[in-house]
Amino acid sequence: MAELCADHSRLLGEDPIGTAPHWQEVTVLELDVPMWARLRNIERWTPAEAQTFERLREKVEESGAGFGLLMSAPRQSGNPLRVRHYALGAGGYRRRDYHSELPQSEWARGLIDTLLEPQNLGGWQEVVAPAGPDFHVCTHGTVDAACGKYGVPVFQALQDAEIAAWRTGHFGGHRFAATAVELPSGLLWAHLTPELALRVARREVAPAEVGQHLRGFAGLPKLAQVLDRELLLRHGWDWLQASRSAVVNGPEVKLSYHWRGKQGQVLAEVTEQERLKVRGSSHKPELTEVPQYRVVVQDSRPKIGAEIGAEVGA
């Protein structure tokens, strides 16, 4: 069997930081696995479904705010359409769950009502979202064999440990299998093993020990994700409770935070340290160059007028 792209990435020692997508909101559609291929097949979209994605594209272009779309297999196949919507807020994303009596083939309605016309959500039944994290593990082996080989055991281990885990369709990053989206924290993980996934989910490991498995926080642009990881390594898991935003100007990153009742900013320079040639797919031999980043924190200070006793990074 040919080398899988995830094996090649691990062999190279690729650092995955800065590869998380940048999402202002996320919609999770609970769809049976056969429906995943239906949604991904553009040629089979109805005119209304195609128009939905055109409207979403226009929204992104106008606002500059990206969105995430995840397809997760429901606990019981054949359920009516259910959606989970996450909006970026303090300490990650805020979750709201909605049930309907619509068939899963009406998946476009879930996108329209959560991302384009939220006033329509009054027609859905909102249910109380369970507490705790959800791990959306890519197990989409028909898209890339690496996700099937490495994602399924990670999903199974989390499920067996009664940690909320979802078999999830492709969301990018085959070479990082097993890869997962952790919500509501908004962290994306790379090269998870069943044992490591359990330790991460239970926070039984220090961030410094798993930093090389972190793709980034989806609430920030990619260069800011590099700085955000540095702050997570310095301050531990509690940093994830901070509200973070960033402005990126070339290699200069200014990350603003509100944490523990205090406000401040961290300035850093994020540059490419080197470039690696990696396989983007297990099914294609082509190599793609990807950057590896270096971060230098230049300044950490409170905002003017904020009463802060200690500065992040001090």
Report how many domains make up the chain: 1
Q: Which of 9-18, 63-72, 305-314 has the highest mean pLDDT?
A: 9-18
Residue with tokens 């281990």: 157
* pLDDT bracket for residue 1 (50, 70, 90): very low
Q: Looking at the domain assignment, is residue 150 inside a domain?
A: yes
Residue 23 in tokens = 């999402």
Distance between CA 56 and CA 62 in Å, rounded? 10
Residue 289 in tokens = 């160059």
Q: Looking at the domain assignment, is residue 51 inside a domain?
A: yes
Q: Looking at the domain assignment, is residue 134 inside a domain?
A: yes
Residue 304 in tokens = 């003017």
Tell me phi and psi for residue 252, to 5 degrees.
-85, 130
For the chain, report the end-to-end CA distance as a whole number of angstroms.
50
Q: Is the pLDDT of residue 17 over 60?
A: yes
Q: Looking at the domain assignment, is residue 250 inside a domain?
A: no
The reported pLDDT for the residue numbered 309 is 30
Q: Is the pLDDT of residue 156 over 70?
A: yes
Q: Looking at the domain assignment, is residue 295 inside a domain?
A: no
How many Cβ atoms sit within 10 Å of the Cβ of residue 249?
A: 8
Residue 122 CB partners (closer than 8 Å, separation 6+): none
For residue 78, is it left (φ>0), alpha (ψ between -120 and 50) or beta? Answer: left
Q: Looking at the domain assignment, is residue 283 inside a domain?
A: no
* CATH number where 116 lies: 3.40.30.10
Closest CA to 142 of 215, 286, 40, 43: 40
Q: Is the pLDDT of residue 306 over 60?
A: no
**Lowest mean pLDDT: which of 50-54, 168-172, 309-313?**
309-313
pLDDT digits (tens, 9 = 90+) for 170-221: 998 999 999 999 999 999 999 999 999 999 999 999 999 999 999 999 999 9
* pLDDT bracket for residue 14 (50, 70, 90): very high
In terms of residue numbers, what domain contains 60? 1-221
* pTM metric for this prediction: 0.93
Q: Looking at the domain assignment, is residue 165 inside a domain?
A: yes
Distance between CA 244 and CA 265 in Å, rounded? 10
Q: Looking at the domain assignment, is residue 244 inside a domain?
A: no
Is residue 150 a contact partner of residue 6, using CB atoms and an 8 Å limit?
yes
Distance between CA 171 and CA 129 in Å, rounded? 23
The reported pLDDT for the residue numbered 10 is 95
pLDDT digits (tens, 9 = 90+) for 219-260: 999 999 999 999 999 999 999 999 999 999 999 999 999 999
